[in-house]
């Protein structure tokens, strides 16, 4: 039985930040290429994967920063993404012991629920869509986006496991 060498906390944190930066770049470099109504939200994956490695307070700060970056690019709803990301990151960090077990299906469910929560909060606070548009957004496009994001998250976790899997022990 192979015994994994113990990882230092600094190396693990460095890998986590590299993974976060790569996902941040993917959000702004890859997502526009595959832009559609239901698209992958790489920033949600980055925030969720970072949040499970941090304390809830620090996760909230990271979520706030990521949300502020999104808001700065969409000034009409300035603050909405920051609010949603703060809440999602804090909750994700709180429930990491429950959801982020070493199980693919649970990870997918974690990302799916996180994306749903973020989209719902973002839609509620941004005030862009109203009435039937909001219903269609929340009942159709948000679940589709969440499912797509969860699938990509599982794929990334499988392919780039050292970057996104928290250090055991």
Binding-site ranges for another protein (CB under 8 A): 24-25, 28-33, 35, 55-58, 60-61, 63-64, 67-69, 71-73, 75, 78-80, 82-83, 86-87, 90, 125
Give per-residue burial for 55-87: e unless 16+ CB within 10 Å, then b: ebeebbebbbebbebbbeeeeebeebbbbbbbb
77 vs 163 by CB, closer to another protein = 77
32 vs 169 by CB, closer to another protein = 32
Shortest distance, position 32 Cβ to another protein, whole Å: 4
SS3 content of the chain, % helix, strand, coil (to 5): 80, 0, 20
Shortest distance, position 129 Cβ to another protein, whole Å: 16
78 vs 106 by CB, closer to another protein = 78
16 vs 82 by CB, closer to another protein = 82
Sign of CA dihedral 24, 28, 33, 37: positive
Shortest distance, position 121 Cβ to another protein, whole Å: 10
CB-based contact 111:100 (threshold 8 Å): no
């Amino acid at each position: 039985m192979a015994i994994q060498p113990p990882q230092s906390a600094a190396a693990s944190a460095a890998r986590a930040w590299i993974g976060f930066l790569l996902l941040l770049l993917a959000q702004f470099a890859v997502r526009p290429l595959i832009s559609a109504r239901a698209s992958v939200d790489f920033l949600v994956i980055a925030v969720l994967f970072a949040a499970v490695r941090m304390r809830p307070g620090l996760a909230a700060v990271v979520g706030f920063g990521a949300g502020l970056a999104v808001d700065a690019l969409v000034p009409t709803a300035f603050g909405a993404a920051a609010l949603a990301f703060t809440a999602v990151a804090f909750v994700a960090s709180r429930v990491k012991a429950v959801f982020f077990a070493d199980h693919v299906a649970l990870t997918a469910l974690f990302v799916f629920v996180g994306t749903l929560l973020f989209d719902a909060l973002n839609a509620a606070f941004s005030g862009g869509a109203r009435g039937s548009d909001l219903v269609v957004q929340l009942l159709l496009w948000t679940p589709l986006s969440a499912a797509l994001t969860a699938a990509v998250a599982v794929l990334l976790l499988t392919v780039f496991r050292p970057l996104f899997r928290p250090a055991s022990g």
